[in-house]
Structure 1
Amino acid sequence: MTEVLQVLDQQLPSYSPSRSPPSYTPQALAGEATLAQTSRFHSISTSHPTGTFTKHVGEISITLSEQDQDVDIPSYGRHGVLSGNINLDPSIKVEDIIEVVFKVEGRIKLTISSSNTVSKTIKVINEQYDLWSCKASHFDLSGSTTACPMNIPFSTVLPTTFKFKDGDREFPLPPSYEVNFTGMPGLYAKCTYAICGIVKIHGSLWDHKKIVSTPFIYRPRTHPRQPIVTTSFLSSVKSLPEEWFQATSLLKPRPGTNPSLGSLNVNFFLPAVRTFGLRDSIPYHIQISGSISSLKEFHSNVQYNLDSESLSSSPLRSRSNNLTLTMSVSLRRQVRVDVKSQSVRKGSLIGTGTLNAVAPPIELDPTLHSLQEMTLDWEGTVRCRPEICVGHFDARNLSATDFLMFSIQPKTTHRVFDPLQIIVPISLVTDTWVEH
């Protein structure tokens, strides 16, 4: 039996590692044709990057493929393929190289500033790959031992999730992100990612390392599961009621005011999908209904579109200085940080909406009976500020959540109505849904 195995072993061809697979592109190349294609959502960038990014540090450099031309920082999305080469300068003595290592690192740094300031660093990626080692046998076709090559390729896929040491639940890998809220307590959070090439060299006295590293942006892309309804609320609510989400509340008169005033029913409508791209204009509709007497009191004291370019279209602009109610719609984000049994939440304004009265104009007929019911309507849109480039995410100790808020706020202590807020959670994602 031993003799048979020896004969078979002698007949086997010598093995050499295969070359890396070619880069994939969804675009047809010269001489190719697309026979079938599945429709999908329209992404922010339809072009496939073909450029390279190179970072030099001393005698070594790292080159990353499939990057946009002339970028300052490389970037990757979900399931991103980190591929490229670690390049050695000819001045390096390759016979002295002990090993070449490629590392991928991701960290979340969290700080809560208070009377008892606490900080924490969470590793979400800590992967290391040995690309070349003198301990491993490397032979050329003649059977001679080879030195470390001048260009060492690498290729790996970014993970999409991570786990904490104290649990089994997986969390999505958070995007590159940084936020800083001052005050007491203060809140600071930063998600960073980096690629690192390490060359270990044998010296006459001791071994030393040459390191080249570069940060990269991780931006996982997501799109809504369906498009935003394109028709107005009043023209579609009866035929397509499932396309609209409704939140309701009561605008109550302040106790001790005019006893003839009753509460007003407030309805806040927005698209039922409640998932929107960062560059989407989010439509909404507001209906306030009740007795004529209560609506007259409300109408005579409310102002809106204070920060909107369409302020000139508001019929209330000329008398805004005497009004005691402010009606607004805003897009807000809440960031939560948990560090060592401390939890802090901070909110910020990331978009200001418009409000426009829906025809017919708001003119209350003085001949109508004060107890009759009537409905007033407004519509508008809100959009994220341009600097917002990260959607919602949850990484346990750090999360960012978004919501729309409709608000009616009194301006003075001599108010007729109590304050009102309607808060609707939404999800902001990177891409807009557009069907081909």
Structure 2
Amino acid sequence: MSTVSLAKPPSYDSPPQFHRTPSYAREPRAEERRLAQGFVRNQRNERAADFVKQSKTASIVLRLSDQAEGVEIPTYGLRAPIEGVVELSKPDGLVHVSVKVEGTMKLHEFGEGGMVTSTLCSETVTLWRKGIDPGPCPDRLDFSISLPTQYSDEKDTYPLPPTFEAHLSGLPGFHADVEYQVTAIASKTKLPLGKLNSLGQSAVSTPFIYLPRTCPSSPLPGPLQGSGDVPESTDWKTYEATVNARSDGARPINVRFFVPKSHVFCKSEPIPFHVSFVSSAVTLASLLPYLTTEENPGGKSSTRIQLLRQICVNVKDEYSQTAANTELWKVIKLGEGTMRRGADSPRMLSFSGEINVDTTVKAGAFKAGGLWVKDFIVFQLNPSNALRGPIGDARIIVPVRIVSDPYSAHTGAYVDTPPARISPPESVGEDDVPTLDFDAPTYNGV
């Protein structure tokens, strides 16, 4: 019998010894950057609590499911079902039990503009009716109502607007309010559905926040690359303006403002930008003292790059004799960036920076009837003597959209309805944008 000689197995190096495993955190540190984000199945655990509201007599309790622990107001997103339970301490003698979800938009112009109230949604679901549903009324009734995705008025159809509130003090002024609420009703009388009457009726109501989740359709680009006077990138959009220079031998200055081509940014991520000034070396040397940068915070000019929000209200007063349309608007600051010196060339000064969005910002831009919320990045060079001084002024307005979620290539990993991908905003002409306040007030969350 022959024997088979087995070769000795190869040797392997010993695995490296780690003294500790690497540490990880859900949020990136200051020196790190999030490239993509997905959401896994256990995310629903963060919204596993019930929101509970009861009437003054505790005869009826409204319990809303799938909410974050300890929230003061429940929150729902796009196509989110409003689900829960109506609990009754004394169901005997009831005629019907129902739940109503409604949304309203109130626009009030102080002065001659008038006031308009629009119904955004209104749906009543009957949970139990005496004589129609079998048996006595249960002490617990489940319900589920889905929010619509849009609403219509006499002029057009719009996406359902988010919860929103804004005001402009003084005369003329305005107050705009978009609000939603859910109400549970238990009645011992045969009133029409949705009609509230204290006689023989118990009700409990709570407002809720409607914030549809949205995300960019593409990730943020890498740093702008290029050589010479013209940086090149297909991921960045260029906006240009010309600054007059009046010194002897000076030439006009070409301002090039670069923003990511998508124009759509997550509210929790810094918005990158680049600025370059192109002219002769002599002209650029005279411009430099007028630029406000990290290296020169007290420059002769106030050079500012801001994220601004414009809130427009237009109400037609049906009772006014002129029946004219009026438009009021307010501009508030959502964030501001600072320029950092970059790589220069003999005919170009280069800067870059980021804008951090105010953490109190909840909703992005939207249009709903007479209420229009628009967001812009505004570059402005504003010397104190721009009309006659050595350096003129310039302003560049870039329309953008602010969204709730960062870009993710794996929207299928979302447990809840994934955020809708948002396309770039429309271009803006001079006739579309009123003069923006240079020193806009800081956003205060309303």
Amino acid paired to 2:340: N
CA distance in 2, matches of 1:183, 1:398: 19
Matching of residue 82 in structure 1 with residue 78 in structure 2: no
CA distance in 1, matches of 2:273, 2:38: 24
Per-residue CA deviations over 1:359-397 (Å, capped at 9, x if unaligned) read 45x9xxxxxxxxxx7111011111211111111111121
| 8 A contact 2:91–2:139 mirrored in 1 | no
Aligned partner of 2:328 among 344, 347, 351? 344
CA distance in 1, matches of 2:173, 2:37: 40
CA distance in 2, matches of 1:238, 1:402: 28
CA distance in 2, matches of 1:273, 1:45: 29
Q: What is the CA distance between 1:44 and its match in structure 2?
A: 11
CA distance in 1, matches of 2:385, 2:37: 49
Q: What is the CA distance between 1:283 and its match in structure 2?
A: 0.8
Amino acid paired to 1:86: V
Q: What is the CA distance between 1:242 and its match in structure 2?
A: 1.3
1:213 matched residue in structure 2:
205
Per-residue CA deviations over 1:181-216 (Å, capped at 9, x if unaligned) read 22332222111110001111149xx95211111111
Q: State the aligned residue count.
A: 355
1:303 matched residue in structure 2:
291
- Helix, strand or coil at the partner of 1:97: coil
Amino acid paired to 2:116: K
| 8 A contact 1:324–1:415 mirrored in 2 | no
Matching of residue 97 in structure 1 with residue 94 in structure 2: yes
2:337 matched residue in structure 1:
353
- Judged with a 3 Å threshold, the aligned counterparts in structure 2 of structure 1 residues 93 and 354 are, in CA distance, closer, same or farther, namely closer
CA distance in 2, matches of 1:207, 1:184: 42
1:14 matched residue in structure 2:
none
| 8 A contact 1:267–1:288 mirrored in 2 | yes
Amino acid paired to 1:327: T
Q: What is the CA distance between 1:262 and its match in structure 2?
A: 1.9
Q: What is the CA distance between 1:173 and its match in structure 2?
A: 0.7
Amino acid paired to 1:223: C
**Any gaps of 5 or more consecutive residues in structure 2?**
1-35, 191-197, 317-324, 411-446
2:123 matched residue in structure 1:
127
CA distance in 1, matches of 2:314, 2:69: 39
TM-score (norm 2): 0.74
- Judged with a 3 Å threshold, the aligned counterparts in structure 2 of structure 1 residues 45 and 351 are, in CA distance, closer, same or farther, namely farther
Per-residue CA deviations over 1:239-283 (Å, capped at 9, x if unaligned) read 972101000111113xxx435322111100111111000111111
Per-residue CA deviations over 1:35-68 (Å, capped at 9, x if unaligned) read xxxxx96369971122111111021111111111
TM-score (norm 1): 0.76
CA distance in 1, matches of 2:73, 2:279: 57
| 8 A contact 1:43–1:431 mirrored in 2 | no
Matching of residue 173 in structure 1 with residue 160 in structure 2: yes
- Judged with a 3 Å threshold, the aligned counterparts in structure 2 of structure 1 residues 346 and 358 are, in CA distance, closer, same or farther, namely same
Q: What is the CA distance between 1:418 and its match in structure 2?
A: 2.2
Matching of residue 153 in structure 1 with residue 151 in structure 2: no
1:54 matched residue in structure 2:
52
2:364 matched residue in structure 1:
391
Higher helix share: 1
| Higher Cα Rg, which structure | 1
Amino acid paired to 1:128: T
Q: What is the CA distance between 1:416 and its match in structure 2?
A: 1.7
- Helix, strand or coil at the partner of 1:386: coil
| 8 A contact 1:105–1:195 mirrored in 2 | yes
Aligned pairs for 1:8-407 within 5 A: 42=38, 47-48=43-44, 49-57=47-55, 58=57, 59-89=59-89, 92=90, 94=92, 96-114=93-111, 116-138=112-134, 146-164=135-153, 166-167=154-155, 169-202=156-189, 208-234=200-226, 241-253=233-245, 257-258=246-247, 260-299=249-288, 301-305=289-293, 311=294, 314=295, 316-317=296-297, 320=298, 323-340=299-316, 341-359=325-343, 374-407=347-380
- Judged with a 3 Å threshold, the aligned counterparts in structure 2 of structure 1 residues 397 and 219 are, in CA distance, closer, same or farther, namely same
Amino acid paired to 1:201: K
**Any gaps of 5 or more consecutive residues in structure 1?**
1-39, 139-145, 306-310, 363-372
Amino acid paired to 2:79: H
Amino acid paired to 1:406: F
- Helix, strand or coil at the partner of 1:71: coil
User: Aligned-residue CA RMSD in angstroms?
Assistant: 2.6
CA distance in 2, matches of 1:183, 1:230: 45
Amino acid paired to 1:395: A
Comparing 48-57 and 128-137, the one that deviates more: 128-137
CA distance in 2, matches of 1:411, 1:353: 21
Per-residue CA deviations over 1:65-117 (Å, capped at 9, x if unaligned) read 1111221111111011111111101xx251x2111111001011112223x25
| 8 A contact 1:44–1:432 mirrored in 2 | no
- Helix, strand or coil at the partner of 1:412: coil
- Judged with a 3 Å threshold, the aligned counterparts in structure 2 of structure 1 residues 136 and 247 are, in CA distance, closer, same or farther, namely same
- Judged with a 3 Å threshold, the aligned counterparts in structure 2 of structure 1 residues 332 and 201 are, in CA distance, closer, same or farther, namely same
Amino acid paired to 1:190: D
| 8 A contact 2:213–2:404 mirrored in 1 | yes
Q: What is the CA distance between 1:124 and its match in structure 2?
A: 0.1
Per-residue CA deviations over 1:372-430 (Å, capped at 9, x if unaligned) read x7111011111211111111111121121111111100123652222210111111111
- Identical columns (%): 27
CA distance in 2, matches of 1:136, 1:351: 57
CA distance in 2, matches of 1:45, 1:192: 31
CA distance in 1, matches of 2:40, 2:259: 24
CA distance in 1, matches of 2:166, 2:120: 18
Q: What is the CA distance between 1:350 and its match in structure 2?
A: 0.9
- Judged with a 3 Å threshold, the aligned counterparts in structure 2 of structure 1 residues 199 and 258 are, in CA distance, closer, same or farther, namely same
Matching of residue 431 in structure 1 with residue 405 in structure 2: yes
| 8 A contact 2:225–2:231 mirrored in 1 | no
